Structure 1
Amino acid sequence: MNQKIYLLAIAFFLTLNSFSQNTYVFLGSYNRDKNAESIQVYQLDTLKGNLTKITAAKNTINPSYLTLSPNGKYLYACTDTKTPNAGSVSSFEFNPENKTLTFLNKQSSGGENPVYLSVHKSGKWLVNGNYSEGSVSVHSLLENGKIDSLAQNFQYTDGSTHKERQTRSHVHSTVFSPQNDYLFLPDLGADKIRCYRFDATLKQPLVATKVPFTKTDLEAGPRHFTFHPNRKFGYCIEEMAGAISVYDYHDGTLKQIQRINTHPDSITSGFESSDIHISPDGKFLYATNRGKENNIAIFSIDEKGLLKNIGYQSTLGNHPRVFALDESGKFLIATNVNSGNVIVFKRNPKTGMLKKVGKEVQMENVSCVQIKRI
């Protein structure tokens, strides 16, 4: 009897703890007005999909890409993007109880036009990619959430064959491997996915590997990258080619096993593929197309990691740069830069299809979304 009461108490505690968590949505933007709320934070209603604004931050120029610390306490942003002779990374403390987002500090991004950043699972390292100058930078993170001075910076000069867009390197994302022991850098300008070993115990954690990059198809323009939850496969979306390359992944190496278009065969030019994510159950992959299409391409994933296109969903706006899935896989949220609107979709876990729910949010030049249960 005592054991039964004990088990019931544990179940009650776990249930209570799950309800004590809330899901928050963080939005970044291209906004040069210091008086504007260039970062906004919402709470997501996980039943109906509605967004309720709880706080915002001003005095920040172009926080175009955001990421969060593993515990959700700190928010990091690429700032001063698309600003000549500038580029920075900034830190903020998020307090859900007080509903505040407080600026902590900022450091040079180590290059012009930072476009992507990631935090190591230890919470001690921040890595960002600089598009215009083609470089990767590493900063250590302090216990109070502030960004320390630059620890490492590597710049690249090689390009590829497109005479206008690939005259030099353009690092477009910085993605940790599933075990966080490697770092992958899709380079749109060089048609390469660069790779370093990442040793979080070192003062300079990026370490050269025997295979420093994986070459993509020419004029592919690799942009964003994600791994399958089973850790066996990697997926790279190619902006210029409007395609996704699928890779077998093992211990820092990639081997291409498939390449599939993100668009219908009837569309033959003007590709602007942008972001890519996989549902937590590993059954479906989603990829955004901007330009002519402004939609989300939906793919099923088979046991071998291969993709099959099963449909498209309009993002109900113009120029969907970044989207995100919540941790439960129930919702997908898309941001449309040119139309300045944020759309919440509910995901069918069986079919992978998307359906708009809730009310859309308006935010000028909204460019990024991250979702975190805290």
Structure 2
Amino acid sequence: MNQQQTGAVALAVGTYTLKMPHVDGKGRGIYLLGFDPSTGRLSEVAVQDAVNPSYLTLSSDRRRLYAVREVNAEDGPGLSTYDLDAANGTLTLLHDTPTQGVWPCHVSVDNEVPLLLISNYLTGEVLSYSLDARGVPSGEPVVLTRDGTGPNPDRQDGPHAHCALVSPDHRYVYLADLGVDGIVRHPLDGGNVNPVSDLTLKAAPGAGPRHLLFTGSGAYLLANYEMSSTVRMYRLDGDDVSLVSEVSSLPADFDGNSGAGGMRLHPSGRFLYVGNRGHDSIFAARVDETAGTLTPIGTWSLGGRTPRDLAVSPDGKYLLAASQDEAFIRVFSIDAQTGELTFTGNDFAIPNAVCLEFL
């Protein structure tokens, strides 16, 4: 680790460090940043050298940080497991896990099961690993695959897994596949994932599912669709799943090319935020679990290109948005009553930020 200064870490940022078809990566690895909740200012604490650590996730006890290595097959795709000491601003590599498939773009963890899920974008697999007592992936993964294509030949020539999560009731794994226009469900029995799916929630043709979230109650699944720039809300009732609400993340008068990026839920569960890459804005919607509805609140300009990921501070007072292609993170304050955003005036320079994870 290249230590810049000592101090507590509040935020980990994954970056692209290599040139890829969609980005000229110039990051240095995983950035560990301090965050002042009284001013909304970010500061660099340290940088962990890593190759294309594009997506990060944190264990439930906040002691382990997981980072995918999103690279081509010849460069060695994999997953790095770090011991995190946020108080002293350090990461220590515990284990490096080589993985099959190409371009792992998302990782999630459920420590109760315990299970870790890696989504390979280019080759389409989802890898399901058991975790040992140290929180390190162990054994061979269960490999979840699908067949199919979508109507967009440039983006949907085959399966392209983009996100996978364990459901709050620990009965299923849900995965979003942009390439086949489907959210696919696999039964989960303890730590064992059935490689045969039992349900597919079909998207509108060419919509391209990207990210998934569960509401705090676990009663709803939220999904955003990259190519259609829409968000859907599904009610979960036992084994049944039903679509109850759908909204666009773009203004009605927008006439251009845009694709959805990161999606985050406010700690209160009342507000949902989505990045629009192309329109280069942040969309907000009100989430009503009683009524089962999404209601648009508005959109706010990022002030730069490609809002790749978002993060909401644990106290719910701030939203951070990463401009992948103009090399900064912008800090907005959140109105607690309306969910509306106001730019704080605080930007932090960082190249090719892909994932923001509050620690």
Same fold (TM over 0.5): yes
Q: Which moved more, 1:186-195 or 1:38-47?
A: 38-47
Q: Report how far residue 307 of structure 1 moved.
A: 1.5
- The one-letter code sitting in structure 2 at the alignment partner of 1:116 is H
Cα 1:306/1:199, change in 2 over 3 Å: same
The yes-or-no answer on 1:30 pairing with 2:20 is no
Give, in whole Å, the separation in 1 of the partners of 2:316 and 2:27.
32
Q: Which residue of 2 aligns with 1:143?
A: 133
| Matched residue, 2:231 | 244
How much is the aligned-residue C-alpha RMSD, in angstroms?
Answer: 2.2
Q: Of residues 100, 113, 117 in structure 1, which corresponds to 2:103?
A: 113
Within 1, Cα distance between the matches of 2:148 and 2:75? 21
**Residue 223 of structure 2 aligns to which amino acid in structure 1?**
C
Distance verdict in 2 for CA 1:89–1:210, change over 3 Å: closer
> Using the alignment, how far apart are the partners of 1:241 and 1:257 within structure 2?
18
TM-score using structure 1 length: 0.86
Q: Do the aligned residues in 2 keep the contact of 1:244 with 1:259 (CA within 8 Å)? A: yes
User: 2-side partners of 1:223 and 1:252: how far apart?
Assistant: 23
CA contact (8 A) 1:64 1:81 kept: no
2:214 maps to which of 223, 227, 231: 227
Aligned pairs for 1:177-196 (under 5 A) are 177-196=167-186
2:315 & 2:261 partners in 1: Cα distance?
A: 23
CA distance in 1, matches of 2:140, 2:305: 36
Distance 2:205 2:73 in 1: 29
| SS of aligned partner of 2:162 | coil
For the Cα contact (< 8 Å) 2:64–2:81, is it kept in 1? yes
Match of 1:57 in 2: 48
Counterpart code for 1:222: P
Query: Deviation of residue 361 (structure 1)?
Result: 1.5
Could you tell me how far 1:230 is from its partner in structure 2? 2.5
Match of 2:272 among 269, 272, 285: 285
- Quick check: 2:269–2:287 contact (8 Å CA) kept in 1? yes
Which residue pairs with 2:3 in the alignment? none
| 2:146 match | 156
Using the alignment, how far apart are the partners of 2:252 and 2:220 within structure 1? 25
Verify the 8 A CA contact 2:77 2:101 in the aligned structure 1: yes
Maintained 8 Å contact 1:56/1:101:
no
Q: 3-state DSSP class of the match of 2:338?
A: coil
| 8 Å Cα contact 1:43/1:52 also seen in 2 | yes
> Match for residue 281 of structure 2?
295
Deviation at 1:170, TM superposition (A): 0.6
Conserved 8 A contact 1:172-1:186:
yes
Correspondence for 2:155: 165
Tell me which moved more, 210-219 or 27-36: 27-36
CA separation in 2, counterparts of 1:247 and 1:349? 25
Deviation at 1:238, TM superposition (A): 0.6
| Residue equivalent to 2:5 | none
Which consecutive residues of structure 2, in runs of 5 or more, have no partner in the other structure? 1-7, 20-24
Q: CA deviation at 1:174?
A: 0.9
The aligned counterpart of 1:15 is none
8 Å CA contact 1:170–1:187 kept in 2: the answer is yes
Name the counterpart of 1:308: 295
Q: Which has the larger radius of gyration?
A: 1
| CA drift at 1:62 | 0.5
CA offset at residue 85 of structure 1?
Answer: 6.4
Offset at residue 339 of structure 1 (A):
0.7
Residue 271 (str. 1) matches residue 262 (str. 2): no
Q: Distance in 2 between matches of 1:213 and 1:304?
A: 24
Q: Which residue in the other structure is 2:344 paired with?
A: 357
CA contact (8 A) 2:276 2:282 kept: yes
* Count of residues in correspondence between the two structures: 346
**Greater helix share, structure number:** 1
Residues 294 and 236 (structure 1), Cα distance of their counterparts in 2 relative to 1, 3 Å cut = same
Contact 1:86–1:111 under 8 Å retained in 2 = no
Once the two structures are TM-superposed, the CA of residue 335 in structure 1 deviates from its matched residue by 1.1
Query: Higher strand fraction: Structure 1 or Structure 2?
Result: 2
How far residue 211 of structure 1 moved from its aligned partner, in angstroms, is 3.0
